[in-house]
Structure 1
Amino acid sequence: MTETIYARIAGTGSYLPPKVLTNDDLAKFVDTSDEWIATRTGIRERHVVEDETTSDLAFHAATRALEAAGVAAGELDLIVVGTTTPDLIFPSTACLLQARLGAEGCGAFDVNAACSGFLYALSVADKFIRAGAAKTVLVVGSETLTKMLDWGDRSTCVLFGDGAGAVVLKADRETGILSTHLHADGAKKELLWNPVGVSAGFKPDEPNAGVRVLMTGNEVFKHAVKALDSVVEETLEANGLDRHDIDWLIPHQANLRIIEATAKRLDMPMDRVIVTVDKHGNTSSGSVPLALDEAVRSGKVQRGQLLLLEAFGGGFTWGSALLRY
């Protein structure tokens, strides 16, 4: 009988750029207010890059995760970065990160699943470890999404921030990631998307031309709540668990109302839900690992506890991971 190998989180890390942009700061150049933003989203402030890149943020988060895990960069077998705002079209942000860390020779690639990017990357890394193809993997979610915002569009520019989070996974025979679940619906891409690409071309005379986030907020909200409800049920059923078995819900930090709706579905009090959206805004693929790292370093999340991670993003993409920390 083959012994099960798990991917255990050995260390976490995160990084936020120093500049903080509050709702009141935004109100100085956008037709909005702190009350308007906070009531609708739960966001009070966000961090914004000035002269840093996505790989810079990833490097700081990764360094902290490696230190927490007691792992040297040279021990890594693989680096997977979830991002929708890479430094360059190519090489990948993961390759840039690999070089800066000095993790010579290991595999490195990016995963683009928008706000679900970290969970997609985590799932890929989990499969490598379960298959015996890797023993030590660095997984990062890093974004500089404010670089692609239209600061005149108050429906989107108030939502997003920059940041990165990382975990180091190690092969373990006792505990770790129990299951991951990924889904997508590309037919609804224009409800949340960026209309610029390489092969699709750039047509400056067309409506909505330019690198920017376009979103139909009310539709995204409805689809997100429904999809996250479904993937939570799928995750619990796959593991033969009851919703009350979960110690902590660590959700994507996009909107406090979505987080509260998911918690209500789980019959989980908000004091068992990790919430950072008020301080970080939506950092896309960076949000789940940022929230996880904050929960670990604050002492809320303890070894042996059962964690449910979930996210929803453009694509549409959504997913979950259940793990014993």
Structure 2
Amino acid sequence: MNLYSKISGTGSYLPPKRVTNHDLAQQLAAQGIETSDEWIVSRSGISARHFAEDDVCASDLAVLAGERAIEASGLDKSQIDLIILATSTPDHLGGFPSTACIVQRKLGLGNSAAFDVQAVCSGFIYALSIADAMIKSGNHKHVLVIGAEVFSRILDFKDRTTCVLFGDGAGAVVLSASEEPGVLATKIRADGNYSHILSVPGKAAGGAIAGSPYVHMDGPAVFKIAVSVLEKVALEVLSSAQMTSADIDWLVPHQANIRIMQSTAKKLHLPLEKVVATVDQHGNTSAASIPLALDVAVRDGRIKLGQTVLMEGVGGGFTWGAAVVRM
């Protein structure tokens, strides 16, 4: 009998504080920085984002998304035997204890394994790929895969080219062992030669931060590389699954920029009607954005059981990846 992994439940969570472009423009204007709803929408497609309160951590968002995914799976939470959490904004400086371990404690899952994955906006695809391999190895049966971010903590609100793009949130799936194919193929890639175009360059040194603790991005360079690598990795993963784009019911891309998403769909000859786009409502939530968008489309009835979904993401590192999944 062949062993497969299949998504058995999805969940997501956005913090209650919703910040519209108008709200953000007013905040920036108080600092002498000009922007507008029209400027932000025309460049990114983003209309609003959600920011967590100061006392809310990535683990808090992850727990709420994870609980919803477990509930949707129909499993008891005690059946989860592994937690993989993708985040670039962990609860603790230095990344330990891992945010996944904190989520494990908050969920009361003392017998599960737990660890973090850091691949920035590609983090969920990396985590899904690892979870798929862990299940197919026979070592785990039900894996909670989460992307959770509080990017508002690392935004420079004096830099309108980055602070308008990102938001906070979490998305999750439960990946379960199955006799039926679910995850059909995954591909993950990286090229450290481009690490400088999207980074948080600060370092902890002697109890202080040396360098900038904020997101720095070369927008035009990221756009150019993203469009190129997303097309390539999509074709790679489709080939591995012995499929073409004609076999795809839905494209669920990383929700970073509507222009990148539209360009990728065009290159894959997919109509925009097959693209799940939620970026307008929550901005770029990094590792959370793909599972967040997936959950929205599952819960509103667009994505149905038996349909085939192509997910793909690209992020700092430079990292990228894609997965073909039958729901």
- Kindly tell me the number of residue pairs found equivalent between the two proteins: 319
Aligned mates of 1:227, 1:242 — CA distance in 2: 17
1:34 aligned partner = 37
Q: Is 1:9 equivalent to 2:2 in the alignment?
A: no
Specify whether residues 94 and 304 from structure 1 end up closer, same or farther in structure 2 by C-alpha distance, changes over 3 A only.
Answer: same
Instruction: In structure 2, give the amino acid aligned to 1:47.
Output: H
Q: SS of the residue aligned with 1:235?
A: helix
Instruction: In structure 2, give the amino acid aligned to 1:16.
Output: L
Aligned mates of 1:283, 1:86 — CA distance in 2: 14
Contact 2:149 2:288 in 1 (8 A): yes
Q: SS of the residue aligned with 1:28?
A: helix
Q: Is 1:184 equivalent to 2:190 in the alignment?
A: yes
Correspondence for 2:243 among 235, 241, 244: 241
Instruction: In structure 2, give the amino acid aligned to 1:141.
Output: G
Q: Is 1:56 equivalent to 2:60 in the alignment?
A: yes
- Unaligned 5+ residue runs, structure 1? none
Question: Which 4+ stretches in 1 moved above 6 angstroms?
Answer: none
Aligned mates of 1:65, 1:200 — CA distance in 2: 41
Q: SS of the residue aligned with 2:292?
A: helix
What does 1:203-214 correspond to in 2, within 5 Å? 204=210, 209-214=211-216
Contact 1:192 1:216 in 2 (8 A): yes
Deviations 1:64-122 (A, max 9, x none): 00100011221111000000000012110100000111111210000000000111111
Q: SS of the residue aligned with 1:143?
A: strand
Deviation at 1:202? 5.6
Aligned mates of 2:237, 2:208 — CA distance in 1: 40
Instruction: In structure 2, give the amino acid aligned to 1:238.
Output: S
What does 1:1-325 correspond to in 2, within 5 Å? 3-30=1-28, 31-50=34-53, 51-88=55-92, 89-198=95-204, 204=210, 209-325=211-327
Contact 1:196 1:202 in 2 (8 A): no
Instruction: In structure 2, give the amino acid aligned to 1:323.
Output: V
Contact 1:180 1:319 in 2 (8 A): yes
Q: SS of the residue aligned with 1:271?
A: helix
98-107 or 304-313: bigger deviation: 98-107
Deviations 1:174-222 (A, max 9, x none): 1210111000011111100001234799664xxxx23100000000000
Contact 1:17 1:49 in 2 (8 A): yes
Instruction: In structure 2, give the amino acid aligned to 1:310.
Output: E
Deviations 1:253-304 (A, max 9, x none): 0000000001101111111110000001000000000000000000000000
Specify whether residues 284 and 203 from structure 1 end up closer, same or farther in structure 2 by C-alpha distance, changes over 3 A only.
Answer: closer
Deviation at 1:12? 0.4
Contact 2:14 2:170 in 1 (8 A): yes
153-162 or 69-78: bigger deviation: 69-78
- Unaligned 5+ residue runs, structure 2? 29-33
What's the TM-score, normalizing by structure 2? Answer: 0.95
Aligned mates of 2:247, 2:207 — CA distance in 1: 49
Q: SS of the residue aligned with 1:27?
A: helix
Aligned mates of 1:252, 1:224 — CA distance in 2: 11
Aligned mates of 2:68, 2:56 — CA distance in 1: 17
Aligned mates of 1:260, 1:37 — CA distance in 2: 17
Q: SS of the residue aligned with 1:29?
A: helix
Cα RMSD (Å) of the superposition? 1.3
Specify whether residues 201 and 255 from structure 1 end up closer, same or farther in structure 2 by C-alpha distance, changes over 3 A only.
Answer: farther
Q: SS of the residue aligned with 1:140?
A: strand
